[in-house]
Amino acid sequence: MSTKVRFRNLAEAERLAKRRLPRAVWLAVKAGNEQGWTLQENLRAFNELGFSPTIFDRPTTFDTRTTILGLDVDFPVLVSPVGAQAIHPDGEVGVARAAARAGTAMGLSSWASDAVADVTRANDKTIFQLYWVGTKPQIEARVEAARAAGAKALIVTLDWSHTPRRDWGVPPAPPSDMSPRTMATLAPEALSRPLWFASYLRRGRIPELKVPNLFTADGSAPYFGKAWAEFESTPPPTWADVKWLRELWGGPFMVKGVNTIKDAKLAVDLGADAISLSNHGGNNIDGSPSPLRYLPHVVEAVGDQIDVMVDGGIRRGSDVVKAVALGAKAVFVGRAFLYGLAVSGEDGVHEVLQILRRGIEETMYGIGHSRLSDVSRDDLMFLNPHFLVPPAS
């Protein structure tokens, strides 16, 4: 472990991240909608599943490998595409390096603060994630830029409800420029955490929140706020639009944000290779249950035709094992790695991934499996008899 890393589990990392980050930045990381019911539900669902440990014939070696979107990874935890990782100077490039060191893939958001070409150089298993922003020619140009940069797969994310309300506070709107007036407005937040701000100054930069992967017609990178305004004014894509995108890309393709069997089947029909069940980490409609609760139903409906992933609420290696036991091919982690990034940059992200990997192996040891692919629902104890929730069909 790097001497810069100062946490032993994700709970410690979260506490340290909250102390280190300016309040507005922390609120953006914490996120969630309205009363945060879904935000907490994603965590609660994992706590309603247990294991039945074994004591005989425990394994001495562990095989946690899997393949998702044509990419071989050492364990079934992928870095989720999360926007604007300018919470540490290492940014997305540092996260990509950490994922490569850990032997897994990097999901890169359209809203990233680092360009896709820089990230693919840091991790040759980069998956580019697209939001439907702007016109079709603009979207096509961004897809082709990702292809040219060497992105190995494409994700289209469709689960965002544009709900701005949060009972615990909402961060200020992202800037649309870095004019003197804007900088004066942001300065108190930055200066409230001098060590955090100093880490940028040592690199000769400031967290200006440009989004280079949502480049405009002239190739320039807009500020987050300006791109967000365009996102909110862009009509949402139809099924035919997503099929067009799938055909345009031509390679491994995932639809992220699926919550119903109907949508899962539609993803199969348009030729997607994978889906991710997601409520956007509690940022879609508050009141929607954890995808973990309906994961087995979706796997039963389409799992023989398409790989099924899940995200939301994963904080431990045992959580990953629970998801795999219910039928997930792999999981995405978002806030978990952001906590590590906030605390110790690239090394912090790497340690988060190592904590999760060690937790997977420790759980496999406890339930007597050498290969993660052998884990099944038979290894689980349902602590809530009403745990499983059939999704809309």
* Residue 190 pLDDT class (50, 70, 90 cuts): confident
What is the rounded CA–CA span in Å between residue 63 and residue 192?
Answer: 46
Is residue 33 predicted with pLDDT exceeding 50? yes
Task: Report the distance separating Cα 295 and Cα 293, nearest Å.
Answer: 6
| C-alpha to C-alpha distance for 23 and 20, rounded to whole angstroms | 9
Bridge partners, 371 (sequence order): 63
Give 20's contacts (C-beta < 8 A, 6+ positions apart). Answer: 193, 195, 196, 342, 343
Dist. CA 138–CA 185, nearest whole Å: 32
Cα–Cα distance, 211 to 113 (Å, whole number):
5
Confidence of residue 325 (pLDDT cuts 50, 70, 90): very high
CA dihedral 320, 352, 306, 134 (to 10 degrees): 140
**How far is Cα 313 from Cα 307, in angstroms, rounded to an integer?**
20
Q: Which of 280, 297, 350, 369 is catalytic?
A: 280
- CA 207 centroid distance within chain: 21
Q: What is the pLDDT of residue 74?
A: 98
Q: What is the pLDDT of residue 2?
A: 45
Can you list the positions of beta strands (E) in the chain?
49-51, 66-68, 71-73, 77-79, 106-108, 126-130, 153-157, 253-258, 274-277, 307-311, 330-333, 380-382
How far apart CA 388 and CA 348 sit, in angstroms, is 34
Query: Does 280 qualify as catalytic in the annotation?
Result: yes
Mean pLDDT calculated for residue range 57-82: 97
pLDDT in tens, 170-180: 887 777 777 77
Q: Which residues contact 259 (CB under 8 A, 6 or more apart)?
A: 159, 277, 278, 279, 284, 288, 291, 294, 391, 392
Give the residue-averaged pLDDT of 87-107. 97
pLDDT of residue 206: 75
Residue 163 banded pLDDT, cuts 50, 70, 90: confident
Q: What are the backbone angles phi and psi of residue 135, rounded to the nearest 5°?
A: -90, 165
Window from 18-22, 103-107, 113-117, 161-165 with minimum mean pLDDT: 161-165
Taken as a whole, the chain contains a residue count of: 393
Is the per-residue pLDDT at 243 higher than 90?
A: yes
Q: Angle, nearest 10°, between helix axes 136-149 and 239-249?
A: 30
State residue 70's pLDDT score: 96
The pLDDT of 140-163, averaged and rounded, is 94
The confidence score (pLDDT) of residue 311 equals 97
pLDDT for residue 1: 40
State the pairing for strand pair 153-157/106-108.
Answer: unpaired
Q: Are β-strands 253-258 and 153-157 bridged in parallel, bridged antiparallel, or unpaired?
A: parallel
pLDDT value for 5: 76
Span 284-298, pLDDT tens digits: 999 999 999 999 999
What number of other Cβ atoms are within 10 A of residue 63's Cβ? 16
Q: Tell me: the pLDDT tens digits for 221-239? A: 999 989 999 999 999 999 9
Q: Please give the average per-residue pLDDT across 360-368, as a whole number.
A: 98
Of 61-65, 163-167, 369-373, the poorest mean pLDDT is in: 163-167
What CATH number was assigned to the domain covering residues 10-165+226-382?
3.20.20.70
For residue 340, give the nearest of 87, 39, 64, 32 by alpha carbon.
87
158 falls in which pLDDT band (50, 70, 90)? very high
The answer to whether residues 349 and 87 touch, using CB atoms and an 8 Å cutoff, is no
> Does the pLDDT of residue 3 top 50, yes or no?
no
44: closest CA among 319, 255, 280?
A: 319
Model pLDDT, residue 85: 85
**From CA 108, how far away is CA 285, in angstroms rounded?**
23
Instruction: Give pLDDT, residue 192.
Output: 86
Q: Which two tokens stand for residue 81?
A: 């595409």
pLDDT given for residue 202 in this prediction:
87
Which residues have CB under 8 Å from 365's CB, separation 6+?
58, 59, 62
Top-confidence residue, 188 or 230: 230
User: For position 208, what pLDDT does the model report?
Assistant: 73
- Distance CA(338)–CA(98), nearest Å, equals 12
* Alpha-carbon gap, residue 319 to 198, rounded angstroms: 36
Percent of the chain with pLDDT over 90: 80
Distance CA 35, CA 288 (A): 12
